[in-house]
Amino acid sequence: MISKHINMLQIDYFLAVAQYLNFTEAAKSLYISQPSLSKQIAQMEKEIGTQLLLRNKRTVRLTPAGTVLLKELTEIKHKIESAIEKARKPDIGEESSITIGFLEVLNTGTFLPKVINDFKQRYPGVTIVLERHSFKVLREKLINGSLDVIFTLSFEVNDSLGILYDTVYETWGSIVMSASHPLANCEELSLSDLKDEKFVMISRDESPKGFDSIIGLCRKYGFTPNIVKQLPNAESLLMCIESGLGISLLDYNVRIHNSDRFKMFKIEEDLMNVIMAWKKDNLNPSISLLTTSVLKETRIEETYS
């Protein structure tokens, strides 16, 4: 393993000597003194632990180790120069693709169409794929790299998994019930009014933090919810609510197709965030292009886990 003390300057010195096979000429090309160059090469050999050059008063030759190092370092330097050149290009990331996942019942109509249209106009070379998934699938696809960016609720972020995120907008929790439910005619409701109600919920396996937060919120109002059914996804949950099998607590901006069949009551004190999240080690350059576009549209300052 090469010592951490070897730096790019020493590498440049070695490559110059290897090119000229003459310390005096190499020193001139580097605008340094010949003794300084000799000292740096000797230090480099000491750090690596092997001789790189054979030199006497008349000649300089590469050792077998020096020949190998010359080949490898030349390739590396070319890659570095190429990487820097690519980074300077104004169209960085444009010839790439990005796969974006959304929580299945998240109402994206408030921001997504404009963001995507503006993004496509600005970066026409980026291929965009959009997918909707349940809580669990969304998390798993982000972690395994199948999705580059996801839009979900803030309680889904696990800080220990190297996830970065930006807040897109704030929202509230809400009580959701069938429009035919006896309480649907009320002007307003508090969670304390639900102590005798039947609850249907997304299963804890599907959304552990979401499940636990609902239990905790209800207990703050003096009761533990009577959960009659745990469902595998939000679409199944909405079907059960619509059929009058129970009520539930959901994001106030939930995407409900048959809105006239549901009644929603905002829970003002139950604030939550809709976020976009991505893995810290995902180096897809389109991610930064997208997140910047979203923040510009939503005008929310970024936060990180």
**How much is the pLDDT for 304?**
36
The predicted model gives 51-75 an average pLDDT of 89
Taking a C-beta distance cutoff of 8 angstroms, is the pair 273, 103 a contact?
no
**Is 301 a residue whose pLDDT tops 60?**
no
**How much is the pLDDT for 94?**
60
Taking a C-beta distance cutoff of 8 angstroms, is the pair 172, 272 a contact?
yes
Domains of the chain, by residue range, sit at 8-88, 97-169+274-298, 173-272
Residues 6+ apart with CB under 8 A from 172: 251, 252, 266, 267, 268, 270, 271, 272
160 falls in which pLDDT band (50, 70, 90)? low
**How much is the pLDDT for 198?**
97
Where does 97-169+274-298 sit in CATH, by number?
Answer: 3.40.190.10
**Is 161 a residue whose pLDDT tops 80?**
no
Taking a C-beta distance cutoff of 8 angstroms, is the pair 3, 47 a contact?
yes
**Per-chain mean pLDDT for the chain:** 87
* CA pair distance 239, 78, nearest whole angstrom: 59
The backbone torsions φ and ψ at residue 117, rounded to the nearest 5 degrees and listed phi first, read: -65, -45
Domain 173-272 is classified in which CATH homologous superfamily?
Answer: Periplasmic binding protein-like II (3.40.190.10)
97-169+274-298 and 173-272 in the same fold: yes
**Is 125 a residue whose pLDDT tops 60?**
yes
**66-70, 121-125, 150-154: which range is least confident on average?**
121-125
Q: Does domain 8-88 have CATH number 1.10.10.10?
A: yes
State which of 227-231, 233-237, 276-280 shows the largest mean pLDDT.
Answer: 227-231
**How much is the pLDDT for 13?**
92
**Is 108 a residue whose pLDDT tops 90?**
no
Three-state DSSP class for 245? coil
Among 142, 162, 160, which residue's Cα sits nearest to residue 151? 142
Among 304, 268, 267, 290, which residue's Cα sits nearest to residue 157? 304
- Which helix (H) or strand (E) element contains residue 74? helix 64-88
Q: What is the DSSP letter of 247?
A: B
**pLDDT tens, residue by residue, 180-232:** 999 999 999 999 999 999 999 999 999 999 999 999 999 999 999 999 999 99
The predicted model gives 35-41 an average pLDDT of 92
